[in-house]
Structure 1
Amino acid sequence: MSASRRPAGAWRWAAVLRSPHRLGFLGGAAVLCMASLWWAWCLWEPGLAPLTWPASLIHAVVMGFGFLPLFFAGFLFTAGPRWLHVPAVPARMLLWPVSTLVLSWALFLWGAHVRTDIAALAVMAGALSWGWITWRLAQLLRSSEERDRFHVRLITWACASGTLAWALVAAGLWQCEPTWVRAALGWGLWGFLMPVFVIAADRMMPVFSLVRLRWLGDRGVVLALLGVCLIQGGHAATRAVGMDGGPVLTMTQSWLSSLAGVVVLGMAWHWSEVQNMRLRMLAMLNVGVLWLGLALMLPSGSLASVHALTMGFMGSVWLAMVSRVSSTHAGRSIAADQITWGLFWAMQLATGLRVAAALLPTMQQSLWVAAASLWLGVVGAWAWRHARWWGRA
């Protein structure tokens, strides 16, 4: 059938290239589903396919650096030009780095079962692609005459930090140095992913704007949270290489993290008091902030804390914001409809099961499998639904 005779609602690759968010989100969804399916398979059939590295470490790498940067790219090159008041970026400009990132993670998972050097080269290809995306974002920043470039500037620095951590993962895989990989993962989580979430949230979510501490200034809350992220990232990286800094520094880091957790929980409570939590989108974002507070209060570096942060906070905010952007650009008036609302609460259950698995060692394996299976079902259903929107006019 010719292009002119296709139904108006038919899925078309040309529609994906209409906007950076469509291309980036589609690539991110593909990697997310691929990584989630691989991990669930590893838990369903442990030992079925030999691995060159521990499965948990491969899982951490692909979930840490795999899908979120692609969603970042789609979002930043859609919203960034508007924030900076510069011309829109054509999606075709991102076609080769997004394609490289998706293919590199597929190659990485295959190499994890075959050869370590293949996995390392795949990660390095991804790091180079992400470095190019970061450089292009920096170009947008330099071309802007907008006075308020605070958020884009900080996000660009965070993305550059992520490029270095990404490259260190590749180097650790190439040199068979797991300590390098673990250090890069710790810094990548707190020095790359978390800052992007916190900075974007300060720009788009009213929860941070409701709390203004006079002695910290107008942007004191977000800067304080970024400081906590850097401390957490430094602690995670140094601990991975056997340099914990001694009991005094460890206790100080733990105390600061717990204090930040209390402040974040207080912010979430205050936000729920002044906002209408019957609005599902606001409720979803507030639940994510609650997970952030809990993650900061749990023992630093524990699996419970890591998954409360990644699945709870990042997962909730990611699902809410990407659903909102996708729905708005697809011409849908309700971003959090019944399907999205149901998937969101299924994700909360998956997160609760995974955190419980870390706290209940005797039930760990069964809770792991249940959490991974439910997570796969949630992201699979969500991706299938939204992928159809991204490919339609």
Structure 2
Amino acid sequence: MINISNPKSSNAPQPKTAFLEFAFRPFFLFASLQSIIALLLWNGLLTGSFSLNLYGGSLWWHMHEMLFGFAAAVIVGFLLTAVQNWTGVRSLNGKGLLLLVCIWLAARVLFFFPDTVNHWVIALIDIAFLPLSAAALAYPIVKVKLWRNLMFIPILLIMSVCNALMHYSIASHNPILMNSASSSMVLLVTLVMTIMGGRVFPMFTANGTRTPRVDAIIWLEKLTVGSTILAVLTGSGFIELPALLTAVIFFTAAAAHTVRMLRWKIWVTLKTPLVWSLHLSYWCIAIGLFMYGLSEITTSVSHSQATHALTVGAMGTMILSMISRVSLGHTGRMIVVGKIMSGAFAALILAFIVRVFGSYWITNYSHVITLAVGLWVIGYGSFIALYFPILIKPRVN
């Protein structure tokens, strides 16, 4: 089970600053801020408000930074925090954590200096982040031989390969490779959300709503995870299958996720923002996979719409909800949010609706992007404003 409430005690020396005590503190804060900056710049570039000379070009940079900058940092922050609960071994902290954060930050900055810094230096610094994170995660898992959680190591390493391919697409001037690598990362993150959701959402729902916990059905869990893995393999573009067969795989995955979610009973969560936000984010997985299947066999839905259902709807909303919960639990606070964060979760859901479906009723595409970005800024800006003091200060107890 993934435990993300309170860390186990440790006799290991604690870092002098609370900010470097656990990985969730710097990575949740910096990733949220980075997502806001990246989207505001992307919106400005699209609307022609200004121009920037970015490593890889503006489209490459936008896709890369939301996936390998924002999402990857949150995943690493979560995993390197949770691993101490799994193993009882002190997770990365202090100077080691600071070094990892600096590597991540350096890559974000260097992307703005493609004419000053050698491209191979930029690529190597950026690519190094995920393998180093995987090594830091593997150490405590291997030390106590907790093999069931070892699966996250190959996932991080495969993400590293996708990142390397993204960089190679620049050197080889191959936009098809860029799209395949970014699609692979989107679907890999979806797989992580699928695994994590199955482990903790029923528990969160039961604890948050004081209702009986829904027990997992083994065949349904295997079908959900297995079909999602197949979706990763086929949707990446690296394996060529007939469009209809690819669509069937995605439809099957979407159906499995839908049945899974119906069993979790979203209707009992409506008074608990930290739970209904998770449920809605998970529904976006089913919607995104279904739309992905449709995009294979019809022109009524685009691949971009399906991708943004998974990124803005599922990824964006689930991350905001999870980092809000984890930050409270790991700093000794009550796991309850007020009206501001409830509004932030609602803003992310609205951002998903506008970004994915807004073009059906808003004729000016730039207005769709601007409105969706504005809603994202409200959501993650609220998190930064409320959680900055929480993330930099010691535990309350």
Q: TM-score, normalised by structure 2?
A: 0.82
- Separation in 1 of the partners of 2:34 and 2:267? 38
Distance 1:356 1:51 in 2: 29
Counterpart of 2:132, as a letter, is W
Task: Determine the C-alpha separation between the residues in 2 that align with 1:186 and 1:197.
Answer: 15
The CA deviation string for residues 140-176 of structure 1, in whole angstroms up to 9 with x for no partner, is 2211144xx42x2221111111111111112222232
Shift of 1:290: 1.3
Residues 120 and 173 in structure 1, CA contact (< 8 A), matched pair in contact too:
no
Distance 1:165 1:52, change over 3 A: closer
Contact 1:20 1:77 in 2 (8 A): yes
How does 1:256-335 map onto structure 2 within 5 Å? 256-272=249-265, 275-300=268-293, 302-335=303-336
Out of 78, 83, 86, the position equivalent to 1:80 is: 83
What is residue 169 of structure 2 aligned with on the other side? 172
Take 2:197 and 2:116, find their aligned partners in 1: how far apart are those partners? 37
User: How far does residue 261 in structure 1 lie from its aligned partner after superposition?
Assistant: 1.5
The CA distance in 2 between the partners of 1:211 and 1:299, in whole Å, is 29
Residue 102 of structure 2 is aligned to residue 99 of structure 1: yes
Task: Map Cα deviations across residues 70-120 of structure 1 (whole Å, 9 max, x no partner).
Answer: 112221121112113334443432211221112202221x14xx5497566
What SS does the corresponding residue of 1:238 show, helix, strand or coil?
Answer: coil
CA deviation string 1:160-206 (max 9, x = no partner) = 11111111112222232222222211112223x22222222222221
Q: CA deviation at 1:308?
A: 1.0
The AA in structure 1 aligned to 2:309 is A
Which residue is equivalent to 2:364?
363
Q: Name the structure 2 match of 1:3.
A: none
Q: Does 1:129 align with 2:150?
A: no
Cα deviation, residue 226, structure 1: 3.4
**Shift in Å at residue 380 of structure 1?**
2.4
Provide closer, same or farther for how the CA distance between residues 57 and 292 of structure 1 changes in structure 2, counting only shifts above 3 A. same
Structure 1 segments unaligned to the other structure (5+ residues): 1-11
Does structure 1 residue 202 correspond to structure 2 residue 198?
Answer: yes
Cα 1:358–1:184 change in 2 (3 A) is farther
Partner residue of 2:138? 138
User: 1:13: how far off?
Assistant: 8.4
After superposition, the Cα gap between the structure-2 partners of 1:388 and 1:37, relative to the gap in structure 1 and judged at 3 Å, is: farther
* Structure 2 unaligned regions, length at least 5: 1-14, 206-212, 296-302
In 2, distance between residues paired with 1:312 and 1:133?
A: 26
Letter in 2 for 1:98: V
Aligned match of 1:40: 43
Q: 1:388 matched to which residue of 2? A: 389
How far off its partner does 1:357 sit?
Answer: 3.7
Instruction: Tell me the alpha carbon deviations over residues 316-342 of structure 1, each in whole angstroms, 9 at most, x when there is no partner.
Output: 211111101112233332432211101
Distance in 2 (CA, whole Å) between partners of 1:345 and 1:104 is: 32
Matched to 1:236, the amino acid is G
Distance 1:211 1:255, change over 3 A: farther
Shift of residue 351, structure 1, vs aligned partner: 1.2
Q: Counterparts of 1:224 and 1:186 in 2: how far apart (Å)?
A: 22
Superposition deviation, residue 51 in structure 1? 5.6
The list of structure 1 runs, each at least 4 consecutive aligned residues, that deviate by more than 6 angstroms after superposition, is none
Match of 2:9 in 1: none
Residue 19 (1) aligns with residue 16 (2): no
What SS does the aligned partner of 1:332 have? coil
Q: How far off is 1:315 after superposition?
A: 1.3
Of 22, 30, 34, the residue aligned with 1:31 is 34
Partner residue of 1:377? Answer: 378
Q: C-alpha separation between the residues in 2 aligned to 1:30 and 1:342? A: 18
Instruction: Report the CA distance shift for 1:144/1:176 in structure 2 as closer, same or farther (over 3 A).
Output: same
Give yes or no for contact 1:264–1:293 (8 Å, CA) kept in 2.
yes
Partner secondary structure for residue 278 of structure 1: coil
* Stretch of structure 1 that moved more, 297-306 or 163-172: 297-306
Q: 1:311 to 1:273 in 2, by over 3 A?
A: closer
Q: 1:254 to 1:319 in 2, by over 3 A?
A: same
1:297–1:169 Cα change, 3 Å: same
Between Structure 1 and Structure 2, how many residues are aligned?
Answer: 364
Separation in 1 of the partners of 2:267 and 2:119?
Answer: 49
Aligned to 1:228: 227
Q: Please say if residues 27 and 98 of structure 1, whose CA atoms lie closer than 8 Å, have aligned partners that are also in contact.
A: no
In the aligned structure 2, how far is the partner of 1:359 from the partner of 1:304? 11
**Matched AA of 2:124:** M
Q: 1:274 to 1:307 in 2, by over 3 A?
A: closer
Distance of 1:172 and 1:376 partners within structure 2 = 30
Other structure's SS at 2:233 match: helix
- Decide whether the 8 Å contact of 1:116 with 1:173 is kept in 2: no
State the alpha-carbon separation in 1 of the partners of residues 33 and 75 from structure 2: 14
Equivalent-residue separation in structure 1 for 2:95 and 2:49 (angstroms) = 41
Please give the alpha-carbon distance, in whole angstroms, between the structure 2 residues aligned to 1:202 and 1:32.
26
Contact residue 124 and residue 170 of structure 1 kept, 8 A: no
Measure, in 1, the Cα distance between the counterparts of 2:360 and 2:53: 28
Query: What percent identity do the matched residue pairs reach?
Result: 20
